[in-house]
Amino acid sequence: MTTFVLVPGMWLGASAWRDVVSRLTALGHSAYPLDLSLEPGTDLDAHVAEVIAVLEKNDLRDVVLVGHSYGGMVVSTAAGQAADRIGRVVYVDSGPLPDGVSQFDTTAPEEQEQTRAAVVDGLVPVPAGVPEAVRAEGRPHPFASVTQGVHYTPEYATLPQTLVTCSFPADQVRGMIAAGHPFFARLQGADVVELMGDHWPMYSRPTDLADLLANL
């Protein structure tokens, strides 16, 4: 049996993993889907602390720590701080950004302007272009969390990693890793697994995603 801790991306909570958790538990595994705080002013450090609190409260060990999209920033930082509890870090259509880089930094200047203009009371609203399932369950996300950079400890480098790529073919991603692309540079030696589709496989391909995770 494997223990999974599942960290959602922007706007989402534990319910996003509902069908993935159902499949994992049916296969005999244990899964902890997280509801990260979406209160205004909540930053990346606060989300990292919430993940570590779950690990410690439940005394979880040899955990497969999974982060989707923005959740990749959370698991990157949390894994290094709690490396003795982590067996593997999994990025679902995400990745370990360079030290000090935030998710906001990865977007184009015009997109940054649009995001800043959309922020209301410190929260980024759910955008119109996401799938209906995301709009139905999504809630405004704290802007402070996506503008704070990720940070690593030396222990992070000792952890096995897997990238589940949904938006780009695996061969393309492997080429970017080999070329030292900054968004993938820390994935040298990582396993790259393809699950093509949209950016939200926990909704569009939950059984396939769960089976993939279960077989890592």
Domain extent listing, the chain: 3-214
Q: What is each CA distance from 5 to 72, 90, 101, in whole angstroms?
A: 12, 10, 24
| Per-residue pLDDT reduced to its tens digit, 168-194 | 999 999 999 999 898 888 999 999 999
| Positions of the chain with pLDDT under 70 | none
| Per-residue pLDDT reduced to its tens digit, 100-123 | 999 999 999 999 999 999 999 999
What is the pLDDT, as a whole number, of residue 184? 86
What is the pLDDT, as a whole number, of residue 185? 82
**Domain 3-214 top-level CATH class:** alpha beta
The pTM score is: 0.96
19 forms beta bridges with none
Which residues does 177 contact at the CB level (< 8 Å), separation at least 6? 184, 185, 187, 188, 190, 192
